[in-house]
Amino acid sequence: MLPKRQINRVVTQTKADATYAELRRLILDGTFAGGTVLNQEQLAATLGVSTTPLREALRRLEAEALLESHGKGQVMVTEVDPAKLPHIYIVREQLDCLAGRLAAQAATPEDLSALRAALEVVPGPNATHLDYWAANVSFHRTIHAAAHNPILSDVLNRVYLQYDRYNAVFLEYVLDDIARSEHAAMVLAIEQGSADDVETLMRTHYEHGRRFLQIAQTDRQSRWQGADLGEAALKFGSGSPS
């Protein structure tokens, strides 16, 4: 028998993790807008870190397509292309339906507790749209975990990371009562093991989201910087982000 080895819980973030999280936040909240060129040396000084953790953080953000290399020790915050949003949304919908179906079949009692707990997360009165979005994402990620499919989790993670950026730039998401009741109905269907019901509820949730996106597009044409909105809006078909 192998000797028992102790594995300690990781309680503090590494410098690279913390640098990554802070830079990601600055990009998502628009402090570093699309097209901003960042000098690595200045960035390291501003953040108070050395170049090693900074480089690691920058590599991760490049892999998430939030940054691109700009040569000579510089990186550029990638521009967001509104025409891509409907494409991401459609993929998110299909994958979330699959995750919901699998969760109905595979959720453990612990997953069900986590799902019920995720329903209780309600941002406070001073919450920004990013806080609402974070609460929504945390609920959906709990479904992803309950699906117990690592390949699906990996793909969903990448899709959600991309969507984060679009949400931050173009939408003012609010987790409203309708979306919350849709979440609660999904948890009930997962508890009952009904894959068909979960999928139906997820599709309704995304239809609700499509309507929100269309309103956001109409209201915020100026933020889309002259892109071909008509085309993008039509691709949404009929209809608060889910």
Give the residues lining the site for Zn ion (CB under 5 A).
Answer: 136, 242
Q: Which is nearer to Zn ion, 88 or 229 (CB)?
A: 88
Q: Which is nearer to Zn ion, 78 or 136 (CB)?
A: 136
Q: Please, what is the minimum distance in Å from the beta carbon of residue 54 to Zn ion? A: 34
Q: Please, what is the minimum distance in Å from the beta carbon of residue 189 to Zn ion? A: 14
3-state helix/strand/coil string of the chain: CCCCCCCCCCCCCCHHHHHHHHHHHHHHCCCCCCCCEEEHHHHHHHHCCCHHHHHHHHHHHHHCCCEEEEECCEEEECCCCHHHHHHHHHHHHHHHHHHHHHHHHHCCHHHHHHHHHHHCCCCCCCCCHHHHHHHHHHHHHHHHHHHCCHHHHHHHHHHHHHHHHHHHHHCCCCCCHHHHHHHHHHHHHHHCCCHHHHHHHHHHHHHHHHHHHHHHHHHCHHHHCCCCHHHHHHHCCCCCCC
Q: Which is nearer to Zn ion, 65 or 122 (CB)?
A: 122
Q: Please, what is the minimum distance in Å from the beta carbon of residue 121 to Zn ion? A: 12
Q: Which is nearer to Zn ion, 136 or 142 (CB)?
A: 136
Q: Please, what is the minimum distance in Å from the beta carbon of residue 140 to Zn ion? A: 6
Q: Please, what is the minimum distance in Å from the beta carbon of residue 133 to Zn ion? A: 10
Q: Which is nearer to Zn ion, 217 or 242 (CB)?
A: 242
